[in-house]
Amino acid sequence: MAKTVLVTGGAGFIGSHVADRFSAEGWQVTVLDNLSSGREENLTPGARFVRDDITTPEAATLVREGGFDVICHLAAQIDVRRSVLDPVYDATRNILGTLNIMQAVQASGHDTRVVFSSTGGALYGDFDPPPSAETFSKDPESPYGIAKLSVEYYLAYYGRVHKLDTVALRYGNVYGPRQDPHGEAGVVAIFCNRVLDGRALTVFGDGTQTRDYVYAGDVADANFAAATSSALPAPGRLDARAFNIGTGIETSVNTLATTLSDVSGATTPIDYAPARAGELARSALETSKAKQVLGWTPTVSLADGLRNTFRYFADFRSGAAT
Ligand code: NAD
């Protein structure tokens, strides 16, 4: 019998790639999404779609009675700036919504593995030089990062105390087709649209600030690897079942802008604007644990990934993208 996966947030950017990946492996896919930022056009063909909010009793019932082998939990409020403006809104979705799902997993009594989409980019802070290993100290600079870290503590608790099967994947800045300008790698979407508009790219500060850009297809592979691994460490401390998912490469905003100009074939000027308060100076993730335990490594280079992403935005605007 086909294995079953519930992808919360499966109509969104990363979730739709995750749903596609499981479907391609022959799994039965159910998507739970309230379409707050996701789109029905992103849904994996053949997937069952349940339009609901993760905070509702109906969502809990779906999880409790669904008998899912795996839940990839991606549904979240993803806008870091919104979390700063309204931490209660963020925590209601990102902490309480996740607890609603986890309590339902516990109540189901079913042997479900929960793969949680956490963040590396917004978790480690600026105190230690990158690349950050999983064991680095966590000093989130935003309510969004605090909520992700809180959920990770809950997952470790569910693992230790209730013997639930949980994994946290800490992503770098994820980019790729279908991405949203509000996410952690929103700059890629913004730059693609600017190039297509023939407008200058705005870089805040001197453009030397770095991030770890990881391609959405690689992140989908990481979800599948985490969902199917038989080599996960025993639940234990916070980091025991946490994996960084990135490239380990620090890419500056200047390099991002010039690489995008190269692959798009357009000569787009860069405008420099004052640095934004609270932005990390440097960020990259150390990913040897994911390689050793999950057998996962990223396969898509920045140039190839940006080329695919730029093509997607160009097609989208001409009405050709799916
Ligand atoms: P996205 O906004 O495209 O996807 C989120 C999806 O969840 C959307 O389809 C949205 O409609 C749905 N959703 C939001 N709130 C919901 C709710 N309360 N109930 C049901 N559905 C809801 O964002 P994304 O970039 O694909 O992010 C997916 C996950 O990955 C999130 O958990 C995010 O925090 C995490 N993440 C993303 C990045 C990144 O660079 N994009 C980095 C680290 C972690």
Say how far apart CA 18 and CA 73 lie, in whole Å. 10
pLDDT value for 211: 96
Q: Is the CB of 145 under 6 A from ligand 1?
A: no
| Of 70-84, 233-247, 306-320, minimum mean pLDDT range | 306-320
The mean per-residue pLDDT over the stretch 149-177 comes to: 98
Q: What is the mean pLDDT of the chain?
A: 95
Of 313, 184, 165, whose CA–CA distance to 228 is shortest? 165
The mean per-residue pLDDT over the stretch 35-61 comes to: 98
pLDDT value for 318: 85
Q: Quick check: 322 pLDDT over 60? A: no
Ligand 1 pocket test target in 7, 18, 78, 88 with most atoms within 8 Å of CB? 78
The mean per-residue pLDDT over the stretch 161-169 comes to: 98
**How remote is the CA of residue 55 from the centroid of ligand 1, in Å?**
14
**How remote is the CA of residue 32 from the centroid of ligand 1, in Å?**
12
Q: What is the DSSP code (8-state) at residue 41?
A: G
Angle of CA points 103, 158, 238, to nearest 5°: 135
Q: Is the CB of 184 under 6 A from ligand 1?
A: yes
pLDDT value for 321: 61
Q: Is the CB of 7 under 6 A from ligand 1?
A: no
Q: Quick check: 63 pLDDT over 80? A: yes
Q: Is the CB of 174 under 6 A from ligand 1?
A: yes
Nearest CA to ligand 1 atom 19: 53
Q: Quick check: 95 pLDDT over 80? A: yes
Neighbours of 184 (CB within 10 A): 22
Q: Quick check: 142 pLDDT over 70? A: yes
Ligand 1 pocket test target in 7, 8, 14, 51 with most atoms within 8 Å of CB? 14
**How remote is the CA of residue 252 from the centroid of ligand 1, in Å?**
24
The mean per-residue pLDDT over the stretch 57-73 comes to: 98
Say how far apart CA 57 and CA 302 lie, in whole Å. 41
Asked if 72 and 220 touch (Cβ cutoff 8 Å), the reply is: no
- What are the tens digits of pLDDT across the range 96-119? 999 999 999 999 999 999 999 999
Nearest CA to ligand 1 atom 4: 12
Q: Quick check: 185 pLDDT over 80? A: no
Instruction: Tell me, yes or no, if 153 is annotated catalytic.
Output: no
What is the position in ligand 1's atom list of the atom closest to the CA of 183? 41
**How remote is the CA of residue 268 from the centroid of ligand 1, in Å?**
30
Q: Is the CB of 143 under 6 A from ligand 1?
A: no
Say how far apart CA 149 and CA 252 lie, in whole Å. 26
Q: Quick check: 158 pLDDT over 90? A: yes
The mean per-residue pLDDT over the stretch 110-134 comes to: 95
Q: Is the CB of 98 under 6 A from ligand 1?
A: no
Say how far apart CA 149 and CA 169 lie, in whole Å. 11
Residue 278 burial by Cβ neighbours in a 10 Å radius (0-12, 13-18, 19+): exposed
pLDDT value for 276: 86
- What are the tens digits of pLDDT across the range 229-275? 999 999 999 999 999 999 999 999 999 999 999 999 988 899 999 99
